[in-house]
A and B are shown apart, each in its own frame.
Chain A
Amino acid sequence: MTHSEPPSRIASLGDASLSVDDLALLVPPCWMNDKLISFWCEHLRINVLKNDSRVAIFPPNLSFFISLTDDEEELVQIATANNLKKSELIILTVNDSRQSGVTGNVASGTHWSVLALERSTNNAYYIDSLPHLPNVKVSKVLLGRMAKMLATSRPTFVELDAPRQRNSYDCGAFACMFAEDVVKCFLDGKQISSVYQAGFQLHSDAIDQKRQAIGKLACLLFNEKHEDDRNSVKDINRHS
C-alpha cells in the first residue's frame, strides 16, 4: 500500500478546504465528495448567511458523526459547541454511508440529500433528488439525535416534493442547491414547506451551474490568496 502525500490544498473557506483532486470531481459524471459539500456549506454560512446564528448548517462529517453516536452527553456537547439551542433552522447534509471495515483510501456512501429542521414548526423536511428516497432511513435516525441535542420532542418527518435528478451522478449538486434554496427561503422569511411549491420549474442548466459555481468560488479564493502572497512579497521587498 502506498502512502501518497495528500494533494495540496488550493482553496480554503472557513472550516473547509479543497484540493485539485476535489475540484476534479466537479466535472460530470463524477460523484461529489464530502469536501465539496462541506465547502458549499461554509460558503452558505459565511457568504450567504453572513454568519447569521439563526441558521446552523451541518457539513456531511458532522451529520455522519451524529448518526453514529447515541451518547446523549456527547450530542449535547456538540449542540452547545454549535450553538444549536438558539438556531431557528438546522440544515443537515446527509449521506447514506455506513462506516465499517474500511481499509485503504476507500470512500463510502452512494447518495447525498438534505434534511432541514424548522424549529418554529418542529418539522424536518427531507429533500432528495432521487424518487426512491434512499436516505430516509439515516435521516430518521438523525431526527432522533436532533431531538436529544435540542431536548425537544421528535421532529415530524416531512417529505418534500423536490426536483429530481435525471441521471446517476448529480445528487451532490442537487444537495448543494437544496441547502442554498432552503437558506434563501429562510432569509426571505418564508416557511420551508414552500421552498419547492407546485409549479416550481428547475431550469435546465441549474445543476451544471451549481457545479460551476463551486469551481468558480474555489478559483476566486485561489486567486485572492495568491494576490495576497504577491502583495506580501512586495511588502517585504519594499521594507528591505
Chain B
Amino acid sequence: MSEKAPEDSKPQVDAKPEPGDQINIKVRDAEGNEVQFKIKKTTQLKKLMDAYCLRMGTAKGAYRFLFDGHRINEEDTPESLDMQELDCVDAMVSQLGG
C-alpha cells in the first residue's frame, strides 16, 4: 500500500500524547489488503471504522469489523479490547439473502 494511511482526525491538543499512548492498528479486507491506522488507545474504534469506510469510498456502516472473531462495537477502544501494537482488524462486507 503506497499511500499513507489517513491519520485519526482528532482535534489537536497541546499536550503531546505520552509514549505508548498510541497504537497502530491494521484493517484487512477479505482479499488481504491492509490499511494501517494510528489511534490513541482510548479513542473509540468508531473513528477507525468510519475512517476505513471513507477511505474505501463506501458509506459509513458498509463494513462489519471483527477482532479475534468478535464484532467490534462503536464504543470499543483499543484499550477495552486489549489490542496490541499492529493487531489486525478484519473488515467484512455486509451480507444479504433470501
Contacts and interface: CB of A to CB of B under 8 A. Distances in A.
Given A65-B92, A108-B95, A108-B96, 14 more contacts: A1-B57, A3-B54, A6-B61, A61-B71, A99-B30, A103-B58, A104-B62, A105-B59, A107-B93, A107-B95, A108-B93, A109-B97, A169-B98, A170-B98
Contacts, number: 119
Contacts of B57: 1, 103-104
Contact of A64 (B54, B58, B68, B95): B95
B90 A65 contact: yes
B18 interface: no
A88 interface: no
Given A5-B60, A68-B30, A99-B31, A82 B69 contact: yes
A77 B69 CA distance: 9
B98 A110 contact: yes
Contacts of A32: 96-98
A102 interface: yes
Interface in A60-79: 60-62, 64-66, 68, 77-78
Interface stretch (A33-41, A44-52, A185-193, A211-219): A33-41
A172 B96 CA distance: 8
B29 interface: yes
A90 to B, nearest CB: 12
Contacts of A77: 68-69
A175 B73 CA distance: 24
Contact of B73 (A7, A15, A34, A81): A15
B55 to A, nearest CB: 11
A99 B71 contact: no
B93 A15 contact: no
